[in-house]
Amino acid sequence: MDTILLRSGNREDFETIIKLNEEEVQYTAPMDLELLENIFESSDFCHVAEINKKVVAFVLALREGTTYDSVNYKWFSEHYEKFLYVDRIVVSGEHKGKKIGSMLYEKTLEYGKTSGVLMVAAEINIEPPNLTSLKFHKKFGFSEVGQLSSDDKHKIVSLQVSTL
């Protein structure tokens, strides 16, 4: 069995993070180097999972009060005073099913608790549906508090929170 190492993400991981995001772009959103730098600079929490010194997963999360230009983040900012927003979590396709996403989420929730946050926020695609992510988030106590649709109505997200 492979040993999974969780550690803080850094700029040396950016190329791999962008590639991993591209693998799952239908469930996340496009991310180039400029956007990743912006998210990373605004983030309070960036962790990666390594197997054999290779990054195979990542999570990026931001606290309230940043200038991050995401409609989903802005929605949570308008509705909640204090939160940790999970912008994205991605696990490489070849490593799904190894509980790596759960390990990263446990680390994220632990960070939220120790930093005095009352809730963790995230959005999950419901159009097109991401049933795996919906099930995953439910396991961590997330429930829907709203929905947003893109301008062209081709993408609808469920806005969810989990109370810590």
pLDDT given at position 44: 94
Residues 89, 105 contacting (CB under 8 angstroms): yes
pTM strictly above 0.85: yes
Annotated domain spans of the chain:
4-163
Burial track 105-133 (b if 16+ CB lie within 10 A, e otherwise):
bebbbebbeeeebebbbbbbbbeeebeeb
For residue 66, the one-letter residue type is T
Tallying the residues shown for the chain, one arrives at 164
| β-pairing verdict for 143-149 and 45-51 | unpaired
Q: Does residue 26 register a pLDDT over 90?
A: no
Mean pLDDT of the chain: 95
Is 4-163 in CATH node 2.60.40.10?
Answer: no
Q: Which residue has the higher pLDDT, 5 or 26?
A: 5
Angstrom distance (rounded) from CA 124 to CA 147: 9
Mean pLDDT of 113-124: 95
Q: What is the pLDDT confidence band of residue 27, given thresholds at 50, 70 and 90? A: confident
Placement of tokens 């429930």 in the chain: 143
